[in-house]
Structure 1
Amino acid sequence: GSSSHSMRYFVTSVSEPGQQVPQFSYVGYVDDQEFVSYNASTRRYLPKVPWISKVEKNDPDYWERNTLYAQGHERSFRDHLATLAEYYNQSGGLHTFQWMYGCELRNDWSKGGYYQYAYDGRDYISLDKDTLTWMAADVPAQNTKRKWDADFRDNEYKKTYLEETCIEWLQRYLNYGKETLLRTEVPEVKVTRKEDYDGMETLICRVGGFYPKDIDIDWTRDGEVWLQDVFHGLVSPNSDGTYYTWRSVKVDPKERERYKCHVEHDGLPNPVDVAW
């Protein structure tokens, strides 16, 4: 298909008053599907979907290696939380340190990747891959920037990971899980209408049951894309792993027939245009 695909990891450490050890979790996603996880209770890197078990055939050390990797980050995040409390002159309380990293293979075959950190829910520091330097979001983060900028070789490694290694693993996982990750589910498109108090009416294009998530929806008038008084909802997940969304447009009832909902998606051999 022509959809974009991504691999993302979310790492979170939370320190709470009275707790000796911060709570810690490490969760991996391919597209929007959680496929691996580690937490402070299990202290093991564990599968979350059946298809990831295929990794063991070519990489028998996969689970042990990643368990050790996650355990190392659990220890280092404990140190980070203590250091950041000093940087922000804090003596206690509940605090969070979060790390988000990953890569994306876009539908035009271009690539993207990022390393981002947050403290107490706010941006803290992120990697600029082009300059191989870190961008600090505030004054305390300048301390971390100075330390991490000095390790140029590690920054080079991170760039290589994002642009090459991460993409290679993403493609491997897409192959392992292709029955679910590369499937297509055809969107169902329905247009309803609602009378407004001002003599106008709202046409609502409801699109549901589609996979993958990427979809293009426009309202057209006489075949041309129409943007005036158009509103849209988020692309949201259904319980069965498909998605739904909507687009609405406010129209004069006398001109209703001029408007159509135009939908393009991997599951459709051709675009569809649906009127009320």
Structure 2
Amino acid sequence: MKTILTRTMFWRLQIFQACFLFLPTVYAESHSHRRYLSIIPNPIGSPAYSIKVYIDHVELASYSDETRIFQSSLKGNVNAEYWIDLTLNLQNAELAHKHHVKFVNSVLNQTHGENVYQQMSGCTMDGDGKYDGYLKFAQNGKDFIVFDKDQILYIPMTFQTQVIAQHYNKNTAYGSRNKYGLEILCTEQIHSYLKYASFELEKKVPPEVKVWGHLQSDGVTRLYCLVYGFYPRPVDVKWMRNGTDHVPSDEMTPILPHPDGTYQIRVSVEVPTRKGDTYSCHVDHSSLGNETLNVKWEPKKERMQFVAVAVAVVFILIGLGILIYKFRLQTTED
């Protein structure tokens, strides 16, 4: 009974490869199409299941067991019956994947509440029109099986997962369908997604930049450059000395998303405080075209702002002191 269930599960897994097929369009740039599936353990109830679909840096579609509805910004471009059928297919695939996780855990002698199961698949298209696809299975971010589409072979990444890989390789039909999905369906989907997601992909928001410095010790200053409010995600930020010398960063945050869909990043460096040297933050972003945004750090202006704030604080304290004195004087007279 277990063998029948496993075979049925594998055929349902292939449903995921056949999703999202539209009419092709020609593009002559580098692009990627990615799908992330995750099953997060839940000791109390059933595990949380989700699928996210991306074209380049844009999330276009998602499905989760919370709503069990396929959600996508492309729905207005395709008839309603297609989305209903696709949602039913994804609901079946959800059950199949959850059964699959039980199978994996039983082979690895693990309980379901121990690990996050992940499946990553997709393909890329370079500027010359060449394609490449991949399919990986992972736990907690570490690959345990990788699919070689050229050899149609599942390769174990650890000694413990050899049994699972052997199980996958027993039926060559599974591998053949995955190869077809990565080499044919996925590449067709890149063109289709680009056709319908052109607005999101072409949207560009220029970055805002703020720079400041903090004296670390005698002769050493840490400079900060905060770049925020930009879209799309890719950006290059660096500190320059005297406009020509790149100062390698020793501290850089990841590119973080904002609730409004834009991104931010902060880059800092330690530099010697010497007269005559100037420092500026250089930002390269697609929204700027061929231009580079240069924002100069001005320590004199920064010190003037500090002095102005300090003076304002002094006046506030003096004012509070006068009010307290008058209040106490009035209380004494009463």
CA distance in 1, matches of 2:160, 2:81: 39
Matched, 1:204 2:229: no
Moved more, 32-41 or 142-151: 32-41
Matched, 1:101 2:121: yes
CA distance in 2, matches of 1:108, 1:237: 31
Distance 1:185 1:86, change over 3 A: same
For the aligned residue pairs, the C-alpha RMSD in angstroms reads 3.2
Moved more, 183-192 or 84-93: 84-93
Moved more, 162-171 or 133-142: 162-171
Q: How many residues align?
A: 270
Is the CA contact (8 Å cut-off) linking 1:26 and 1:39 kept in structure 2?
A: yes
Partner of 1:7: 33
Deviation at 1:80, TM superposition (A): 1.6
Is the CA contact (8 Å cut-off) linking 1:202 and 1:248 kept in structure 2?
A: yes
Partner of 1:247: 267
Secondary structure in structure 2 of the residue aligned to 1:145: helix
Distance 1:108 1:195, change over 3 A: farther
Deviation at 1:211, TM superposition (A): 0.8
Partner of 2:295: 274
Deviation at 1:253, TM superposition (A): 1.8
Q: What is the TM-score normalised by the length of structure 2?
A: 0.68
Q: What is the TM-score normalised by the length of structure 1?
A: 0.80
Identity %: 30
Partner of 1:259: 279
Distance 1:154 1:22, change over 3 A: same
Distance 1:109 1:201, change over 3 A: farther
Matched, 1:195 2:215: yes
Matched AA of 2:287: G
Matched AA of 2:35: Y
Matched AA of 2:167: K
Aligned ranges 1:158-177 → 2 under 5 Å: 158-177=178-197
Aligned ranges 1:33-52 → 2 under 5 Å: 33-47=58-72, 49=73, 52=74
What is the aligned counterpart of 1:134 among 151, 154, 162? 154
Output one character per residue of 1:153-174: Cα deviation in whole Å (capped at 9) or x when no partner. Answer: 5434434433443233233223
CA distance in 2, matches of 1:40, 1:186: 37
CA distance in 2, matches of 1:199, 1:110: 53
Output one character per residue of 1:182-213: Cα deviation in whole Å (capped at 9) or x when no partner. Answer: 21111122321111124310121221111111
Q: Which has the higher strand share?
A: 1
CA distance in 2, matches of 1:258, 1:190: 16
Partner of 2:316: none
Distance 1:189 1:23, change over 3 A: closer
Give unpaired runs (5+ residues) of structure 1.
Answer: none
Q: Which has the higher helix share?
A: 2
Distance 1:256 1:192, change over 3 A: farther
Matched AA of 2:293: V
